[in-house]
Amino acid sequence: MIDIQQQEAKLIAIGNMLSKKLSVYAIGGTALMLRGIKNSTLDIDFVFDKKRDRDEFINVLKKLGAKDSDTTIIYGLKNNTPLMLEFDNCRFDMFMNKVITSTFSDAMKERAKQIHEFSNLIIKVADPNDILIMKSATSREKDLEDMIAIINKSHIDWNIIVEEAKEQIRLGNETAIMNLGEKLEKLSNKKIISIPKEISNKIWKLFSKQVKDKAKKNK
């Protein structure tokens, strides 16, 4: 577990070691910390869109003393898992465009407008709407807690949420709409969050259409 100051110190150290400018996308708890939504995280999550950039980043981490970590301990045998390194009291999870079932889409990259620079390390922070969608893909209790924090502390554009869920389906994430609807309904039923009724209806209509379309293909 690291706090904001510890995370910043690590990012500064990495940025100072990089020989040239390198851009990454921050997701998960890292993005929420950079956006002031939470104060600590268990791991630093980055998405890369160039393999050579991830290789360079890993090379710098190892020069700073980071050690390889077993991905299967955290993610099992899932697809699209990150490369992982342990560095002092935290773990770096480094994904390539896909984050387990989610795709870090072109639209997500476009919405990552908040930028932090640590010397040669340029961090583009994922939009809260997109973090919410990715958080809905898991069953971890801490991700539900993060979803609550995102909704309570950010300006949520529910239309973006719905459109990106549709885009995730198009990109091959067949469970995106189901996971999103299930998690939002669970939190709404417990009166923890409030979701516009028309948005909830739209999500389940999309899911119903997806099921019907799949049934037609399988005939």
pTM for the predicted model, two decimal places: 0.93
Token pair listed for 115: 């930028």
**pLDDT tens-digit series, residues 156-175:** 999 999 999 999 999 988 89
| Residue 130 DSSP SS3 | helix
Domains with residue ranges and CATH for the chain: 1-125 (3.30.460.40), 128-214 (no CATH)
Cβ atoms of residues 79 and 90 within 8 Å = no
Query: Phi-psi bin for 136: left (phi > 0), alpha (psi -120 to 50), beta?
Result: alpha
List, in sequence order, the alpha helices (H) in 64-156: 71-75, 106-111, 128-135, 141-153
Distance separating the N- and C-terminal Cα atoms of the chain: 50
User: What pLDDT score was predicted for residue 123?
Assistant: 98
User: What pLDDT score was predicted for residue 18?
Assistant: 97
- For the packed helices 128-135 and 141-153, what is the interaxial angle rounded to 10 degrees? 160
User: What pLDDT score was predicted for residue 182?
Assistant: 94
User: What pLDDT score was predicted for residue 188?
Assistant: 92
- The helix (H) or strand (E) run that includes residue 22 is strand 22-26
User: What pLDDT score was predicted for residue 147?
Assistant: 95
User: What pLDDT score was predicted for residue 98?
Assistant: 93
User: What pLDDT score was predicted for residue 213?
Assistant: 84
- The helix (H) or strand (E) run that includes residue 198 is helix 197-217
Cβ atoms of residues 166 and 206 within 8 Å = yes
User: What pLDDT score was predicted for residue 73?
Assistant: 85
User: What pLDDT score was predicted for residue 14?
Assistant: 97
Cβ atoms of residues 121 and 92 within 8 Å = no
The number of beta carbons lying within 10 Å of the beta carbon of residue 71 is 15
The ranges of the chain with pLDDT < 50 are none
- Whose tokens are 């583009």? That residue is 124
Cβ atoms of residues 135 and 35 within 8 Å = no
User: What pLDDT score was predicted for residue 215?
Assistant: 85
User: What pLDDT score was predicted for residue 105?
Assistant: 97
Amino acid at 156: I
Token pair listed for 151: 């909704």
User: What pLDDT score was predicted for residue 10?
Assistant: 95
- For the packed helices 4-17 and 51-63, what is the interaxial angle rounded to 10 degrees? 110
| Residue 24 DSSP SS3 | strand
